[in-house]
A and B are shown apart, each in its own frame.
Chain A
Amino acid sequence: MTALLELRGVCKRFGGVQAVADIALSVPPGQLAAVIGPNGAGKTTLFNIIAGAVAPSAGEVRLDGADIARVPMHGRVKLGLARTFQNLRIVPDLSVAENVLLGLDAHRPGGVLRDLLGGATRRAAEERRQVLALLDRVGLAARADDPAGGLAYGEGKLLELARALASAPRLLLLDEPAAGLPHAEAGRMASLIRGIARDGTTVLLVEHNMRLVMSIAQHILVMSGGRQIAAGTPDQVSRDPAVIEAYLGRDDDA
């Protein structure tokens, strides 16, 4: 079976800094995979390479067997890739529901001319139903018509998740979904993510929170200094001496 996401020899240099060096990763469909590593390990750069926000200096990025290295960010969304952002990128002067609509828009045809000539309003009721269903899933249905700018931080993270799900992705990329969340909310986020994966969406997350990753991920890639230092199941990596040295040994409170 081909992997849904396949990375081979991915490298990225910024000026003289090797941010990502020769990373390989294979995520089969339906898996919940994670990339972890201390600050500056190159996780976020790798994430941005997969999402298309950063072009790799070398290497292959394959989605369902097809090389997507030259597909721009917005094109990857149409191929079934959705992402959330580490620092919230919800649009504050749109309502909560409208933010989710932005995600729904990804797969609908049309452009400026089509919008001017009308026709967009016809599907409003159906869209509304979809939006409310997505918001309900993350527990924000009651806030649908509030301005998104008024949400608390944790609620913003949930809205990002709902918005990413709106484009019905095959591969969901989560950039530190639990960062900055208090313990209880992080737990809630973990069970949401597990539910998403159980429903068949492949998930790749980049996380700082070791406990969260260890509790939900099936496969973990550990990075340090841009390189892979270990990979495997949570059990395997947590026993790996290199991981303990590079990560746990120094930064066990993360």
Chain B
Amino acid sequence: MSGLPHPAWLGLVFVALLAWPFLSPNDYVTLLGVGFLVNVGLVVGLNLVAGYCGQVSLCHATFFGLGAYASGVLAARYGWDPMAGLPAAVALASLGAVIIGIPALRLHGHYLAMATLGFSAIMTVMFNELVSLTGGPNGLLGVPGFVRDFGHPVDMPLGQYLVAWCYAGLCMLIALRLLASRTGRTMRAITFSELAAGGLGVDTARVKIAIFVLAAAMAGAGGWVYVHVNQFASPETFGFLRSVLLLTAVAIGGWGRFWGPLPGALVLTMTPEVLGRFHDFEMLIFGGALVLVLLAYPGGLAALGAALRGRLRRARA
């Protein structure tokens, strides 16, 4: 499909990303890389839903949280091995998406926005109030790291980076495969005109639900990475604001652009770091940036990159 790279390019980018922990001066910077990669996975999934299918989902962080709490609670409270928590994380997040997505996506209009918003609000209450499971507002403590017994503990930054690297790489690979397939074509048709897609024999609701659940599964896996890297989870990480910031990252990176999640996640990860003690300005900046990007450059940073490449090529020729 137009605008999709050869898979080799994806491989090249991810091989280059492997250098980060070896270049980074300390663990803190390595862990920033982990945060970036987790965000990449989250934004890739949301980009499929929002960017490619045109559906406003306001609970992506909730799916992230369901994954994190599923594996975190099983490991911290019931002694499960972190590796065994991955299927649980993916399953719980997907289940949430099925429950919300099936009724909401069969309807047109703003039902998904409303339903995801309601789901986000309900689950925020649950994360806060089911104290005996989640630890409530104080957070879930005592979550084990990935591998505790491997000669020396691999819950060091390098091991964590590798897990997150695999996660983000896999998400992008899945997205690439999907977009290059006929589902990718179908998604374009749906975004352009649901009526036309239906008239071509596409069961639009089914495709939208499938993508929504897939994105939630990706977010659930991201929660699994997050909770075992940080060995902690607390409700505000998975709230409405985070969902909105993820949506903002999709738009800033490039709405429906394959490479968009990389710059989008970079901005999302780095802005609080760059702001430092001026972190109060974060919302102001993200809000302003979202409006400006939508007004001035709807293709986002990924489109800007593509335009620059084109100009460079022309200049050389």
A residues near B (Cβ < 8 Å) are 51-53, 72-75, 77-78, 83, 85, 89, 91-95, 98, 101-103, 105-108, 110-113, 115-116, 118, 120, 147, 163, 167
Contacts and interface: CB of A to CB of B under 8 A. Distances in A.
Given A91-B189, A94-B189, A112-B211, 20 more contacts: A72-B203, A73-B199, A74-B203, A75-B203, A77-B199, A91-B192, A93-B2, A93-B192, A94-B2, A98-B185, A102-B189, A102-B202, A105-B185, A105-B201, A112-B178, A112-B207, A115-B177, A115-B181, A118-B177, A147-B2
A116 B177 contact: yes
Interface of B: 1-3, 174, 177-178, 181-183, 185-186, 188-189, 192-193, 195-204, 206-207, 210-211, 214
Contacts, number: 95
Contact of B178 (A83, A92, A108, A115): A115
Nearest to B184: A115
Given A92-B192, A116-B178, A120-B182, A106 B200 contact: yes
A112 B197 CA distance: 16
A94 B52 CA distance: 13
A89 B193 contact: yes
Nearest to B182: A105
Nearest to A78: B201
Given A53-B198, A74-B198, A116-B177, A93 B3 contact: yes
A102 B186 contact: yes
Interface centre among B1, B182, B203 (most CB of A within 10 A): B182
A246 B284 CA distance: 62
B184 to A, nearest CB: 8
Contacts of A115: 177-178, 181-183
A101 B199 contact: no
A107 B201 CA distance: 8
A243 B178 CA distance: 53
Given A111-B206, A112-B183, A116-B177, A95 B201 contact: no
